[in-house]
Each structure stands twice: as structure tokens, then as C-alpha cells.
Amino acid sequence: MDTPVIKKKLGLKDRYAAMTRDLAWDTTYQPMEKVFPYDKYEGIKIHDWDKWEDPFRLTMDAYWKYQGEKEKKLYAVIEAFAQNNGQLGVTDARYINALKLFLTGVTPLEYYAYRGFAHAGRQFTGAGARVACQMQSIDELRHYQTETHALSHYNKYFNGLHSPQHMFDRVWYLSVPKSFFEDAYTGGPFEFLTAVSFSFEYVLTNLLFVPFMSGAAHNGDMSTVTFGFSAQSDESRHMTLGIECIKFMLEQDPGNVPIVQGWIDKWFWRGYRLLTIVAMMQDYMLPKRVMSWRESWEMYVEENGEALFKDLARYGIRKPKGWIQACEGKDHISHQAWATFYQYNGAAPFHTWIPKEEEMAWLSEKYPETFDKYYRPRWNHWRDQAAEGKRFYNMTLPMLCTTCQIPMLFTEQGDATKIAYRESDYFGNKYHFCSDHCKEIFDNEPEKYIQSWLPVQQIYQGNCFKPGTDPTAEGFDPLLAVLDYYHMNVGRDNFDFEASEDKKNFAAWNGDSAEGATK
Amino acid sequence: MSVKAIGTYNFPSKDVRENFPAPLLFIGWEDHLVFSAPIALPLPADTPFGALGAAVLPGTYGSHPDFARIDWAAVEWTKSGKPWKPDPAKSLADNGLQHKDVIRFRTPGLNGLNGSCN
């Protein structure tokens, strides 16, 4: 009889330690500070990296297995959705425009997040932080791919979904998310985590994912809903990394507190400005609405945020500057943003429209103090104009905020009839901002933001034409040349939904006349 | 304050005057939020200021019912938010306008659609 062999199996905790921190070592050929220079220059002091609590507690092999299973389920649903012509089951072809916004404005951010976390995952001295960032990096790459795959089906049937990555690097409104992330990942690794893991993922992410995913569910888009479920467990890990990183920095050295507070101030505001497009999507682009932007702001930010910052008060952290202004903005920004896209729809690769009468009634109900007073007159005017065949398009390029890069559409705190203007002088040049907070972000790091690639300025500098374009040629149309550079199919990707191919096709596929589909 | 960086951090501004064919001017019409943001226009420095109301702005604002009723002599201008009295006969440059200045105008008595600032 053979002697039984006792298999030595490590417990979960030991196994985790062995597969993560035990794989790290202190370098000897080169000093550690030369190998890891990036986590020093921001001024954050870390005395003991072993105090880092690993938020994920996942080893690579478990991670692959777990994600692989999720992937199988997701792709089965995407496949079934395609085979059953799931695109016909959405509420209304207007809904697809929310997906266009997501695919061009959000999906490329996943790719940026992948790059940012890969960088942080190389640069932290502490092995625990490195492993956490590497795992998140892979998550983000996966999200970029699964979102692209989930939405690619729609590209076969609807306009405007064909060149998201190309557009992300060029189209005016996409410079808003692009510059947000470039600002974050050109900071040091600690600022990057404060920006993306904490301010964005922990404080604000519910405002991004819940509206899009429950919007998808309410509007019959099971493909996107399934992606949402597949990403959700990753997102909760990411939120854990965000809060862990903040607490770790605050506990390591009292000198870290003011630096972290400055970053929270900056990144809360930048994240809030970025979410303007989500606000408008929620209030205007979903044929079947879930809840208003105002309601979700109150639920996810005001309530949760109050509790969070109460918890962080013991470290000396207060609510971000701009909190009050952001809370006031809940009554305004969705309306202001949709009105902007409506009038600049010649240059945006998705459709806009005037809200229907019952949708305006919903907006009045959800925004009793502001919609009828400030915003309804605009829509009524544009509706009358459109009925006379004069659908309003603004053909003059707007002034942009140097920091958030959004057109200067935001109004003063306490007066929604006055656009807010702020400016700074830097070495004899003027720079303009939409708010005190965007100005302050510039004033703190002017060397960074003077490099802003502002789409309007770039167009006027002649940098947004395809190579070989001759602007002196007879009959040269600069606007059309810019749209060509964007890879926009003019007349198919842009302009009002009412006259769109998307609307006509969707009605035909469902056996309706185009007129019938809107009734 | 300034940027914290791992090395020398010195990059040119993307929006300096030399990069544009003409100085950039930002213009906003107060109380008319149908135009959701102020506009940006490159305008030659020798453009007479009076040409704004007569030739430049109609292209942007002409569709608004208030626009045709503007009495340009009564218009109140601000530059960087401060009251400002330009001379319509003089050029933009001679009125002191520089690259990336922001000017706004208020049209007394004309406060948007039914006075709604739209």
C-alpha cells in the first residue's frame, strides 16, 4: 500500500500573499528610487507600503477563470441578440443615439483607463498597489473590448457608429472626455488614482453606469444591459481601490492631506463637468425615461456623498470645492447641454430632436422650478421655427472653456439667465473659463492647460482638415472640410432625427410609416 | 502654484496669436440663451467695430426676432465683464481689442422671447 501523499494546499490568504506580494522584490543592481521615480515627485509621502490593504484579493489564475466565465455569458447574449434582430426591439430609434454618445464618449475612456492603470501598475513602489492597478488595467481593456463588441451590432443598422476611435481624437465635443483623461494620466500615479479611482469611480460612477444601463433595460436593449452586468462586479472592485488609495495616502502622512484635498477639489469638478453629457442623455435621449438627472444626482451624490465625506472628515478631508455649485447645477445642466447639441447638431455624429409635448410635461414635473421658466420657451420657439421649415442650426463656432473644453453654456450660480464668464492672464495671453472652479484648476497648473487642444481654436488655426486640403481653392467650405476630417457622413450621421435615415429605416423594419413611428 | 513634474516642464501655448490667421474675438449676446454659448470668430484687426453689428453678427444672430430691432447706438458693451464704450468708426485694434478678448453686448428693452432671456 502506498503511503498517502498529503497535498500541501495553501489557504486562500496565504495563496493570495504568495501569488502577489511574494512575487515582488527590492532591487539591488539599481536603487529602488531610481526604479520607481514616479511615486515620489507629487509630494505624497509613504512610510510603510505594507500598510496597503489589498482591495481585490484576487490572484491572476482566479481572475482569469472568473472573467472567462463572465465573458462566455456575455458573448452568448450578444450572439443571441444579433440572431434575433434585437435592434428591432428597442423602444424607438431615438434611443440608439444614447448608444452613439456612449460609444464615442465613454468607450474610448475605458481604453485610456487601461493605459493609465498599466502605468500606475508599473510605477508604485508597493507591490500591493501595483497588483491592484494591473488587475484594474486588464479590466478596463476588457470593458473597452466588450463595449465595442456589444455595440458593434448596432453599427450594421444605424448611422454614426462607424468610427468611434477616430472621432474621439478629433470631434469637438469628444475633446471633453479626451482631455479629462489625458489630464488624469499625465499626472503622477497618486493623482491618477485620486482622479479616476476615487473622484470618478467612487464618487461619481453610479451616475454614469446606472443611467446608461437602466436606460438600456427600460428601452429594450438587452445587449447593453448584459455588458453592464458583466462590468458591474469589476466596477465595485474599482470603487474599493479608490477608497483604499485615499485612506492609505491620508493615513501615511499628515502632509499628504492638503495635496489629496486639492486633487479631490479638482477631480470632483472635472468629473462633474464630464457628466454633463450623461445628464442630457438621461433627461432628453431616452424614449422611456428611468429617472431624472436631478433625482439621480440627489440619490447618488448628495445622499451617498454626504455620508462619504462625513466618514473622511476624521482625516481632515472636507467636501470638494464646487459641491454647492454642482448641486445647484442639477436643475440646469441637462437642458443647457441638449440645447447646445440641438443647435450644433450639424457637427455632431448623432441626432437630436425637440422633446415631444408629453416629454416636456415630464420635464416640467421633474424640474418644477426651472424647466417652464427658463427652458421651455427655447423649445417652443425652435419647434415653431422647425414647423416653418427653419430648423435652427447655429453655424458659428462656440467659445470654449480652456479647462473642461465644454462650450461656455453654463450659467451663474443663482441666475440661470446669465452665462458665467471667468478669465485669467498668463504671460500676456488670455484664457477663459466657464466657472470659478475651472479657472482655479487652470490657475494651479497653467503650464499644463495652455496646451489645451481646443477644437474651436484648432479649426480656426487650420489644423482640422485632411492632409492635402487646399483652403484657398474656389468654393472651399471649411465646415464640410472639418466634417470630412471627422469622418462624418454628412446628412446621415448628423442633423435632426426627424429627417434621418435612422428614423425612416427603423419605421420600415417595424412595418410602420415614418410618420406612424413617432405617434 | 505650478505643475509638479518629474523633469523640466515647459511647453508652448497652443493658442497664441501667431497660430491664427487673425486675432480671435469672443462675443456674447446677453439675455439671448437661444444661442447657448458665446461665439468665437477670427477677425482682422483692421475691421471697423461698427461692422460687427452691420455685417458680422447678422450671420449668427440674425434669425432671432429681437435682432432686427436692435438700436446699435443704444447697445451696452462690456469687455472682460466691465462697462466699455467702443467707437464704431474705429477698427477693432484701435478700440483696444486684442487676441482672445471677450466682449458682450446687452440690448436694452430686448430681453429675448417674451422677455424670457431666450
The gap from C-alpha A502 to its chain's centroid, in whole angstroms, comes to 25
Give bridge partners of residue A412 from the DSSP assignment.
Answer: A415
- Which of A396, A421, A426 is nearest residue B39 as measured by Cβ atoms? A396
CA end-to-end span of chain B: 39
A469 to chain B, closest Cα gap in Å? 17
Using a CB-CB distance cutoff of 8 angstroms, which residues of chain A are in contact with residue B9?
A: 447
Nearest to A444 by CA among A321, A313, A271: A321
Beta strands in A224-356 (DSSP E): none
CB pair distance less than 8 Å for B26 and A432 = yes
A459 to chain B, closest Cα gap in Å? 10
pLDDT-derived band at A2, boundaries 50, 70, 90: low
A186 to chain B, closest Cα gap in Å? 10
Q: pLDDT tens, A460-488?
A: 999 999 999 998 899 999 999 999 999 99
Using a CB-CB distance cutoff of 8 angstroms, which residues of chain A are in contact with residue B11?
A: 447, 450-451
Return the higher-pLDDT residue of A505 and A517. Answer: A505
One-letter amino acid for residue A145 of the chain:
Q
pLDDT-derived band at A9, boundaries 50, 70, 90: confident
Using a CB-CB distance cutoff of 8 angstroms, which residues of chain A are in contact with residue B14?
A: 450-454, 457-458
Q: What is the mean pLDDT of residues B14-35?
A: 97
**Burial annotation A56-68 (CB, 10 A radius, 16+ → b, else e):** bebbeeeeeeebe
Using a CB-CB distance cutoff of 8 angstroms, which residues of chain B are in contact with residue A462?
A: 21
Residue A209 has a pLDDT of 81
Residue A517 has a pLDDT of 46
pLDDT of A213 higher than 90: no
- Which of B31, B60, B118 is nearest residue A396 as measured by Cβ atoms? B60
pLDDT-derived band at A267, boundaries 50, 70, 90: very high
Q: Cα-Cα-Cα-Cα dihedral of A151, A152, A153, A159, to 10°?
A: 90
CB pair distance less than 8 Å for A397 and B40 = yes
Contact B103, B79 (CB under 8 A): yes
Round to whole Å and give the CA distance between A360 and A339.
13
Round to whole Å and give the CA distance between A58 and A64.
10
Name the phi and psi angles at A223, rounded to 5: -65, -45
Q: What ipTM, to 2 d.p.? A: 0.98
Contact A396, B64 (CB under 8 A): no
Q: What is the DSSP code string of A196-218?
A: IIIIIIIIIHHHHHHHHHHHHHH
Q: Between residues 417 and 456 of chain A, which touch chain B (CB distance below 8 Å)? A: 417-419, 421, 423, 426-427, 429-432, 443-448, 450-454, 456
CB pair distance less than 8 Å for A461 and B19 = yes
Q: What is the mean pLDDT of residues B27-52?
A: 98
**Burial annotation A289-301 (CB, 10 A radius, 16+ → b, else e):** bbbbbbebbeebb
Residue A16 has a pLDDT of 85
CB pair distance less than 8 Å for B14 and A452 = yes
CB pair distance less than 8 Å for A453 and B15 = no
Give bridge partners of residue A398 from the DSSP assignment.
Answer: B39
The gap from C-alpha A72 to its chain's centroid, in whole angstroms, comes to 26
A33 to chain B, closest Cα gap in Å? 13
CB pair distance less than 8 Å for A377 and B1 = no
Residue A388 has a pLDDT of 97
CA dihedral over A343, A347, A353, A355, signed as positive or negative: negative
Using a CB-CB distance cutoff of 8 angstroms, which residues of chain B are in contact with residue A261?
A: none
Any chain B CB within 8 A of the CB of A242?
A: no
Q: pLDDT tens, A306-348?
A: 899 999 999 999 999 999 999 999 999 999 999 999 999 999 9
CB pair distance less than 8 Å for B39 and A409 = no
Residue A519 has a pLDDT of 39
Residue A7 has a pLDDT of 65
pLDDT of A518 higher than 60: no
CB pair distance less than 8 Å for B3 and A395 = no
Side-chain half-sphere exposure of A331, counting CA atoms within 13 A: 20
Nearest CA in chain A to B115: A377
Round to whole Å and give the CA distance between B37 and A276.
15
Nearest to A235 by CA among A56, A53, A61: A56
- Which of A407, A430, A447 is nearest residue B101 as measured by Cβ atoms? A430
Residue A12 has a pLDDT of 81
A464 to chain B, closest Cα gap in Å? 13
pLDDT of A262 higher than 60: yes
A361 to chain B, closest Cα gap in Å? 19
DSSP state of B91: B
Contact A213, A224 (CB under 8 A): yes
Q: pLDDT tens, A123-176?
A: 999 999 998 999 999 999 999 999 999 999 999 999 999 999 999 999 999 999
**pTM of the full predicted structure?**
0.95
Nearest CA in chain A to B10: A447
pLDDT of A514 higher than 60: no
Q: pLDDT tens, A94-106?
A: 999 999 999 999 9
Q: What is the mean pLDDT of residues A47-71?
A: 87
Any chain B CB within 8 A of the CB of A38?
A: yes
CB pair distance less than 8 Å for B40 and A398 = yes
Contact A465, A471 (CB under 8 A): yes
Nearest to A331 by CA among A374, A270, A274, A394: A374
pLDDT of A516 higher than 80: no
CB pair distance less than 8 Å for B16 and A453 = no
Contact A386, A435 (CB under 8 A): no
Q: What is the mean pLDDT of residues A63-78?
A: 91
Return the higher-pLDDT residue of A66 and A401. Answer: A401
Nearest CA in chain B to A444: B1
- Which of B36, B102, B113 is nearest residue A381 as measured by Cβ atoms? B113
Hey, is A449 helix, strand or coil?
helix
Residue A86 has a pLDDT of 93
Q: Work out the mean pLDDT of chain A and round it to a whole number.
A: 93
pLDDT of A245 higher than 70: yes
Residue A513 has a pLDDT of 66
CA distances from A468 to A36, A485, A486 (A): 44, 11, 15
Residue A15 has a pLDDT of 85
Hey, is A408 helix, strand or coil?
coil
